Copies of this chain bind each other. A is one copy, B any other.
Amino acid sequence: MGAGPIIVRAMKKQMQFTVSATDGRARRGRLDTAHGPLETPAFMPVGTAATVKAMTPEAVAETGAQCVLGNTYHLMLRPGSERIRRLGGLHEFMNWPGPILTDSGGFQVWSLKDLRKLTEKGVTFRSHIDGAKHELTPESAMAIQNDLDADITMVLDECTPFGVDEAEARVSMELSMRWAQRCRDAFEQRPGYGLFGIVQGGVYPNLRAESAKALVDIGFDGYAIGGLAVGEGQDLMFQTLDVTTPHLPEDKPRYLMGVGKPSDLVGAVERGVDMFDCVLPTRSGRTDQAFTRRGQLNIRNARHKDDPRPLDADCSCYACTNYSRAYLHHLAQSKEILGLTLLTWHNLHYYQELMAGMRHAIESGTFADFKAAFEAQQAAGDIPAIEGD
């Protein structure tokens, strides 16, 4: 290969995050992982069971997504994290060469309610698949995510339910902080791999501040904000972000877990959040719902049955480039699998375009204008229907 110098790009042991521009509190950044970069603000599609439902990985990448999520709870039960390790890790298993973030499994376990038992050590639960007993501890959560080969590993925490009083929220948050320390101790640091802490504390500003400080004292590669989008509403979510992000380091990424609607993303980026994940665009795509620049629509509605226009005239996704609303309506009525794929594809593309728009706006110092235009377009509502003969 010629006589030129061999350039060795040494990857630093810590995961690198660089903020290249800010606009108000909104940040434009880049997170470098072992499997490539993540441009932020970023939306990460959810690939629960080692697949972003109804999509090939190539289609996911085509939407502009750089990082996908895997759910530890689902993967540890089926096919099992050790099996995935033997098969080369989650990237190889699911054919996704880019960055992968895995949650700790905790969030899904909390939703099992009667099937779980919490102690200082960890949580035991019964599988929803076969009833088998399993345990998650801070240490095993790290080992499992290591088996999965996640670029970004999340600490095990207790997701404090919405509606508990401050005393209960404190007990829960303090347990999560002790677990965070145990996760940090157990996490195997590898170049380009990172561990994120999760701020808890419910809707109590002092608890959120305490939690953030406790995590910063331990030291993480990134900081997630957990326990939101659990019923508190957008106003209270934004208020909680307002009192939390100021306590997080400027030089580390901030990740709002499980959020959200397009307007949630815009408001959270405005408040200094860098990363998001949510099942909304994919799940909506499988229930005939489409997100467009002009709001949400249900493609099963009869108003679309003779409409030769795409879902969104300004969208360059595969679905909008090649198919009419009439065809998508027909696929939905006929319960055809391709309909689920096309709506998921469009929704993920819309979310990625929204993030790209915000990244550009932050770079050019026009975030306020972007937000105003976004809100005006969303408020305009869908285009008028076309009636058939």
Contact = CB atoms under 8 A, between A and B. Distances in A.
B88 A341 contact: no
Contacts of A322: 95
Interface stretch (A28-36, A142-150, A330-338): A330-338
A86 interface: yes
Interface string A170-187: 000000000000000000
A86 B336 contact: no
A94 B327 contact: yes
Interface stretch (A76-84, A131-139, A292-300): A76-84
Given A88-B308, A322-B95, A324-B93, A336 B83 contact: no
B87 A324 contact: yes
Given A93-B327, A324-B87, A331-B51, A82 B389 contact: yes
Interface stretch (A52-60, A261-269, A353-361): A52-60
A338 B56 contact: yes
A389 to B, nearest CB: 6
B388 A86 contact: yes
Contacts of A338: 51, 53-56
Interface residues of A, number: 38
Given A86-B306, A87-B326, A337-B337, 12 more contacts: A49-B330, A49-B331, A51-B336, A51-B337, A79-B305, A82-B389, A83-B305, A83-B388, A86-B389, A87-B306, A94-B327, A95-B322
Interface of A: 49-51, 53-56, 78-79, 82-83, 86-88, 93-95, 305-306, 308, 318, 322-324, 326-327, 329-331, 333-334, 336-338, 340-341, 388-389
30 contacts: A49-B330, A49-B336, A50-B330, A51-B331, A51-B336, A51-B337, A53-B337, A54-B337, A54-B338, A56-B338, A78-B330, A78-B334, A79-B326, A79-B329, A79-B330, A79-B333, A83-B305, A83-B388, A86-B306, A86-B388, A86-B389, A93-B326, A93-B330, A94-B327, A95-B322, A95-B323, A95-B327, A337-B337, A337-B340, A341-B341
